[in-house]
Amino acid sequence: MTGDMNVGLWNDGGHATVNGDVGGTINRPARPEPDRVEPDRAEPAHGVDVLVVTALLEEFEAARDAAGTTWHKHDADGPVPYLTGERAGLRLALARATTMGARSVAPIAAQLALRLRPQCLAMSGVCAGHPDRTAPGDVVVADPAYEYDEGRLTGTGFTGEHRHYPLDTRQLRAVQEFEPAGLPTYGTVGGEESENWFLERLHHGQEPRLHAARPRYVPPGVWPAMVSRLEGDGLIVLRGRRWNLTRAGRLRIERLMAGDVDGPDRLPFAVLAGPMASGSAVVADPGIWDRLAGMGERKVLAVDMEAATIAMVAHDHRIPDWLVVKGVMDGADPAKDDRFKRFAARASAEVLYALLAERRA
C-alpha cells in the first residue's frame, strides 16, 4: 500500500458535530442537483479511501446523489463497474450489486477491495427496524453485524452459531454522539404530523406513549392537547389506560397511508448504533424479533441481508475499518410497504458520508 493511501483517513483529531436548526417548523433547504457522472477513465493509481457498496439500484442512486461530487465511471462495460469521486477530502468508490443478499454483494466487495485497497469498506441502504425501538426513517449503524441464520438445524429446532463483527470503538463513540439535525433529510414535525404518527402507531398495535420515538414526534407538552383534540374529533377512544382507534380514526389513517405514495422528504430521525442481524431472505414476519432474542441477541435493532458480509469481507481482506449504515423502511411485518424506502436510502447515505467526514476530520 502506498504512502498516499494512508494519509490521514482515520486520524485521532477532534470530533466534529453536524448542527442545524431544530426548532420551529420543518426546515426545507433546497435539494442539491443530481451529481454529474463523467465518462470512463483509468483506474485510480493510489486506490481509494472508502469503498461504498450497495445492494439495490435505489440505494446506489441515493448514495451517488447524496455525495455532492462529480463521479467518474470505471469499467462501465465490465463485470464490476464502479464510480469514483471525492468528498470532504476522501477518495470514494461506489459500486452496486444487481440483487440483494450476501452472494451478490460479497464477490463485488471482495474484487474491488483487492483492486482499490480501501481503508474503509462501507454500505448504505435500507433495512427492517425493531418496531418498538426504531421508527420508520431512523438510521441504524451496525454494531455488531452478524449472520443470524448461521448454525445447526435439526428436527428439533435451530441452534445459532453466530460470529459477531463489532464496530471500531472510536466509530461507535462518534455514532453515539452524532447529531443529524443539519442533514437535508432531517426536519422537525408538529400539529397534524404528530397526530398522524400517533394514529399510525395505534394502527400497528403499538403503544405510542411508550414508543422510543415519541419525544421526537410528540414534543414535550404537546401530548395532552393532541389526544384531547383527537378524542373530540371522534378518532380515538380511551379504554382502560390505552387509547384505541375508532372506526373514523382507522379510516383516516388508512386513507393517509394509501394515498402517501411518495413518502416523506424530511423526518426527525434518530441515528442509532446496535446489533444488525443479516439473513438470506427478505423478512415479513413480526415474530422475527422474538426469535432473534431467543437466540441470545436481546437488543437487535435491525434486520438486513448484507451487513455481516461487508464486515466479513473487511475482516478477511484486512481492511482497517468497515461501516454499515441503513435506514429503517419497515418493521418486518406482513403489511409493510415501500412508503419509507426512498427516504431511508437517502438518509442512510447522508449519515454515512457525515460519519466518514467526522472520522476524517
- Residue-wise pLDDT for 248-283, tens only, equals 999 999 999 999 989 999 999 999 999 999 998 888
Mean pLDDT for 104-116 is 96
Compute the 3-state secondary structure of the chain and give helix, strand, coil in percent, each to the nearest 5. 35, 25, 45
Provide mean pLDDT across the span 286-304.
91
Give me the sign of the Cα torsion angle 107, 54, 128, 358.
Answer: positive
Strands 302-304 and 90-96: unpaired
The answer to whether 180 touches 351, Cβ cutoff 8 Å, is yes
pLDDT for 8-40, tens place per residue? 344 443 333 333 333 333 344 444 445 567 666
Instruction: Give ranges for CATH 1.10.10 in the chain.
Output: 192-259
Burial of 340 from C-beta contacts in 10 A (0-12 / 13-18 / 19+): buried
- CATH 3.40.50.1580 intervals, the chain: 34-186+266-360
The pLDDT of residue 35 is 57
pLDDT tens for residues 190-202?
Answer: 889 999 999 999 9
Return all residues near 297 (Cβ < 8 A) that are at least 6 apart.
146, 148, 162, 275, 277
For residue 79, give the C-alpha cell. 463485470
Specify the CATH number of the domain 192-259: 1.10.10
| Residue 191 main-chain phi, psi, to 5 deg | 60, -125
Which spans in 191-323 are helix H? 192-203, 214-217, 223-232, 247-259, 288-294, 307-316
Grid coordinates of 277: 442481524
Q: Distance between CA 75 and CA 62 in Å, rounded?
A: 21
Q: Which of 107, 110, 137 is nearest to 121 (CA)?
A: 110
What is the rounded CA–CA span in Å between residue 169 and residue 173?
6
pLDDT at residue 7 greater than cutoff 50: no
What gap in Å lies between CA 147 and CA 164, rounded to an integer? 8
Q: Which residue has the higher pLDDT, 39 or 4?
A: 39
Task: Provide the Cα torsion 180, 183, 184, 186; round to 10°.
Answer: 10
pTM more than 0.95: no
Residues contacting residue 64 through CB under 8 Å, at least 6 positions apart: 35, 37, 71, 83, 94
CATH placement of domain 34-186+266-360: 3.40.50.1580
